[in-house]
A and B are shown apart, each in its own frame.
Chain A
């Protein structure tokens, strides 16, 4: 009898428990879609790591507005269909407040109609300018990566300053190169620059001497190469092989240690626009980004035993901007969206962000600096 009473009391206590025990607050759910495996894993992996690292930092400090953060991350493998499925799942099942990612331009373009319709803020980590343009139609879409238009702008500023007005462009035939080629040819007249040779190469080509031989026979004063992966390093080697002395300028797609390693001796003296992360120790102390970059790099090294990459920086900025907006406006979707759109003077890894209803990226060409490869290291060129 006694036993039964005791168990009844116990059962009642267990059932009633949540009612009077300190009710743990509902977490804010933040979704992530990254290309963690597949050909773009070099983007997705640091992005996922960074997002997880930041979320545990926030939770260690007691969350946002007293509520913990919960992050749900899916891998789209660079696949458009998977990215769409994951976006649906994050919205329907996980009830995500906002989504960070995807990592690539085409996956972002595939996901944004879904998030737009569901009125969930999406902060993409991809570079394509069309993701947030025009912003009036892309109310719920933001992005933190610099666009190639800014990289081109930065290169042309540099060339103009050094009185180099005739350039040869050599672009890869993938989406990255096609978009770069468009920007390079469209922006040239604004800077009084003339494109005197326009050559293309395949992503997997292993010999660009024919294209460079053609360029050698033009009055070009500099060569601008737009590509990712090993091909830009081969261009550097071929240029050296042909004994060409004019400066070689690479795109931000070559702004990695791997490029320096692949190009070897041929990499010396190459110029390229890069996010400030690769050269932050040599930035002047007055640069507002220096402290942010140092903090990010050190935290990333501590957590993952690897140097931080600018790709991870896209997720870093996305999460920080989102957290700032959440802090201000709370979880109401409309207020949250407006708060993200009003982000002003946020000093991040990729630059200083000033968003507006017309600009859902908020960066300026100053987000890039021109760097030069000197003795196997990136150095500030100016």
Chain B
């Protein structure tokens, strides 16, 4: 009887235990989806940092503002012409142009100065762009409708919005396209040559100044695309760029500044780490996680996960 009684009693707690485990797994899966979505945006920004760093050896701290401008311009364009593809392309082109203008007006006149001077100039540029955006759009937040519907999809125990898939999908496409551009086209190869050895590249006739311009255009376009993708989830507001820029910078450092694969890896890892930290520890630590990781990487492995020599 004893044995039998125990035999019956023993399984009793287990369904609850199984249930708990399922719930915990479901929650983990949900954190993973949130983390990957944010991480994809960080990856796009991190790549923008990397491209400009490779071409010029400076950190462009206005990168986050390109994200903000992408989001707000797409919102304004959408209000004028309510057709999302047009808003997406129009805003990306506009911000690309702005990236070129920024390089021409703010950086080219002083391009032979030390990287430090140039980095400070980009900080100034970021403040200026943010201020202009505040004057133009005001301090209010704006909404961009999701690309395709707002009905949540069920993916096993977790749910996600079609917009999450758009973010992940378009980001993956952009990354693949960028990699193909660098590996397969002559211009892309020329840009890489400039990154490896600017002097040698110039000697074989690669127009280095043009490559710098192109790098600004590319990173502005990437940033803008990131901003437009995330706007339906997070709303667009004039001061959204600063934090996103810093997160993207942390992601770039984590992955290894200048390495494309590193940027992607860094972005995704950072996004997931943030999401897990706010879910499992406390939401107050969300932003701290990014900067804690940044500090640890700088102390322990300054070249980043996939970076070359420090």
Contacts and interface: CB of A to CB of B under 8 A. Distances in A.
Interface stretch (B30-38, B119-127, B260-268, B293-301): B30-38
A199 B283 contact: yes
Contacts of A240: 150, 152, 161
A181 to B, nearest CB: 13
B141 A233 contact: yes
Contacts of B284: 173, 200, 202
Interface string B89-124: 000000000000000000000000000000000000
Contacts of B189: none
Interface of A: 39, 173, 199-202, 204-211, 213-214, 216-217, 229-230, 233-234, 237, 240-243, 258, 261-266
Given A216-B27, A241-B161, 10 more contacts: A201-B283, A202-B283, A206-B233, A209-B33, A230-B235, A234-B234, A241-B160, A242-B159, A243-B159, A266-B150
Given A241-B160, A265-B150, A266-B150, A213 B234 contact: no
B34 A209 contact: yes
A210 B233 contact: no
22 contacts: A199-B283, A201-B283, A204-B243, A206-B230, A206-B240, A207-B34, A207-B233, A209-B31, A209-B33, A209-B275, A210-B31, A210-B275, A210-B276, A211-B279, A217-B23, A230-B237, A233-B235, A237-B150, A241-B152, A262-B141, A262-B142, A265-B150
B143 to A, nearest CB: 5
A265 B142 CA distance: 14
Contacts of A173: 284
Nearest to B230: A206
A202 B277 CA distance: 14
B286 interface: yes
A230 B152 contact: no
B286 A205 contact: yes
Nearest to B149: A265
A209 B37 CA distance: 11
Contacts of A266: 150
- Chain B interface size band reads 35 or more
Give 10 closest A-B pairs by Cβ, nearest first: A206-B234, A210-B279, A230-B141, A210-B278, A243-B159, A209-B34, A213-B30, A243-B152, A241-B161, A230-B235
Nearest to B276: A210
B154 interface: yes
Contacts of A242: 30, 152, 159
A39 B138 CA distance: 11
A18 B282 CA distance: 73
Nearest to B139: A39
Nearest to B271: A207
B279 A234 contact: no
A262 B140 CA distance: 10
Interface in B205-239: 230, 233-235, 237, 239
Nearest to B27: A213
B179 interface: no
Nearest to A241: B161
Contacts of B37: 207
A204 B139 CA distance: 13
A234 B164 CA distance: 14
Contacts of A206: 38, 230, 233-235, 240
